[in-house]
Structure 1
Amino acid sequence: MTCTTLKIDRRGAVAWVWMNRPELHNAFDETLIAELTAAFTTLDDDPTVRVIVLAGEGRSFSAGADLNWMKRQGAAPPETNLADAQALAMLFRTISMCHTPTLARVHGAALGGGMGLVAACDICVASTQALFATSEVRLGIIPAAIGPYVVRAIGQRQAYRYFQTGERIDGARAREIGLAHEVVEPGALDAKVDDVVSALQAGGPLAQAAATSLIRAVAHGVIDEATVQDTASRIALLRATPEAKEGLEAFLQKRPAAWVPAKN
């Protein structure tokens, strides 16, 4: 891919996507939105990619929307304004629906849409210096496009507070409310990301995709007969696959499965 707002770094089976507008704290505009959407779509379709890590160059992960872009869209004709908002909403959906595991590496500000990117990813590893916020109400708008993903991450009760106050959330609080999985000192951030990436690569890629599909299917449903039958069908189909057979055989033989990267 040729990008003007991103840098994509392949490290073996791991793709690092770096937002690269450091002078603007990786704020969103139409170009960054389009390039992030295309990058995640392309990488998710690549069977050689096992994990996608999203990170930001410079001092911030992402400070959210470029306010000049927001003003420009607010003054645009209604159909243009709506189409732009739909493109933003599709970005978060694209990330959230990846079959490939996604991980946000957060080292600084992740505000507004930046917090939405974090919530759309499967996993968040953050620095103690990270700051999060759904600060849109302080600008007279709402966190609409990111709303479904942030509410999924932190729950309705916390969303009622932070969507309305726009308060800053530090790393410790982000972990407490479920937004961040791991929070470490800045110097340990990349080592912790590497630890989680290694753990992800120990799992079977087909099984991981099936696991995320399972979560989406059962997260808000009633545990009724249809759900029971659906879950039974999922495991029955999966354990008959070559990947499952290899995984079980490797465990019984006390060896790494074929998909686990060799240690240097």
Structure 2
Amino acid sequence: MSDHIRLDITASGVATITLNRPDKRNAFSSKTIRELIAALDSLSNQPNIRCLIVQGEGKHFSAGADLAWMKSMANNSREENIQDAKRLALLLSSLDNMPMPTIAVVQGCAFGGALGLLCCCDIVIGEESSLCCFSEVKIGLIPATIAPMSFEPLDLARQDDTC
């Protein structure tokens, strides 16, 4: 697809999206987000896909947002920044609503938006040494687009005692 992500599909219907910017710790940019949305959209319309694996190339799953991209956003208009946030929300919603099981495979760091990806997957498999956090709070940013994905709605209608 590009130099930001790779999409591989096996003959048995296992799709793998690999974040492919190991030199940038697989950090997100607007290009990465657009390409992830396009890949998810393409996969959601393929009935032969049995499951989706999301992983990162190299030492880290993803360091979250690319700092150069974040700095460039300071020059954007308010409307441009709102549209950027909406694209990230669309990415997370698209992953959260995939019609097949989704599995994140995590090594190293999964920070910020990367943690949002993990929260949207059905299963997360991580190395024991993996680190996950909303790192943006350290610089005064609220993870407002990502944090809602980290909370599973409580099913209050459930009557058995397995909750």
Q: Distance in 2 between matches of 1:134 and 1:90?
A: 19
1:202-221 aligned at under 5 Å gives the runs 219-220=153-154
1:71-82 aligned at under 5 Å gives the runs 71-82=71-82
Larger radius of gyration: 1
1:146 aligns with 2:146: yes
Q: Distance in 1 between matches of 2:84 and 2:144?
A: 13
Matched residue count = 157
Q: Name 1:135's counterpart in structure 2.
A: 135
Q: Name 1:26's counterpart in structure 2.
A: 26
Q: Distance in 2 between matches of 1:74 and 1:93?
A: 25
Q: Name 1:101's counterpart in structure 2.
A: 101
CA deviation string 1:188-225 (max 9, x = no partner):
xxxxxxxxxxxxxxxxxxxxxxxxxxxxxxx545539x
Amino acid in the other structure paired with 1:28? F
Cα shift at 1:32:
0.4
Q: Distance in 2 between matches of 1:53 and 1:143?
A: 24
Q: Secondary structure at the match of 1:104?
A: strand
Q: Secondary structure at the match of 1:9?
A: strand
1:31-180 aligned at under 5 Å gives the runs 31-152=31-152
**TM-score, normalization by structure 2:** 0.91
Percent identity of equivalent pairs: 38
Q: Which has the higher strand share?
A: 2
Q: Secondary structure at the match of 1:61?
A: coil
Q: Name 2:161's counterpart in structure 1.
A: none
Q: Distance in 2 between matches of 1:71 and 1:15?
A: 33
1:223 aligns with 2:157: yes
Runs of 4+ in 1 over 6 A off after TM superposition: none
Q: Secondary structure at the match of 2:151?
A: helix
Q: Distance in 2 between matches of 1:103 and 1:221?
A: 23
1:17 aligns with 2:45: no
Amino acid in the other structure paired with 1:7? R
Q: Distance in 2 between matches of 1:73 and 1:151?
A: 28
What is the aligned-residue RMSD (CA, Å)? 1.4
Amino acid in the other structure paired with 2:92? F
- Distance change (3 Å), C-alpha of 1:68 and 1:116: same
1:230-241 aligned at under 5 Å gives the runs none
Q: Secondary structure at the match of 1:54?
A: strand
Amino acid in the other structure paired with 2:6? K
Q: Name 1:164's counterpart in structure 2.
A: none
Query: Any stretches of 5+ residues in structure 1 without a counterpart?
Result: 153-218, 225-264
Q: Distance in 1 between matches of 2:96 and 2:156?
A: 22
Q: Distance in 2 between matches of 1:53 and 1:65?
A: 21
Amino acid in the other structure paired with 1:83? Q
Q: Distance in 1 between matches of 2:114 and 2:157?
A: 34
Q: Is 133-142 or 3-12 further displaced after alignment?
A: 3-12
Greater RCO, CA 8 A, separation 6+: 2
- Distance change (3 Å), C-alpha of 1:221 and 1:130: closer
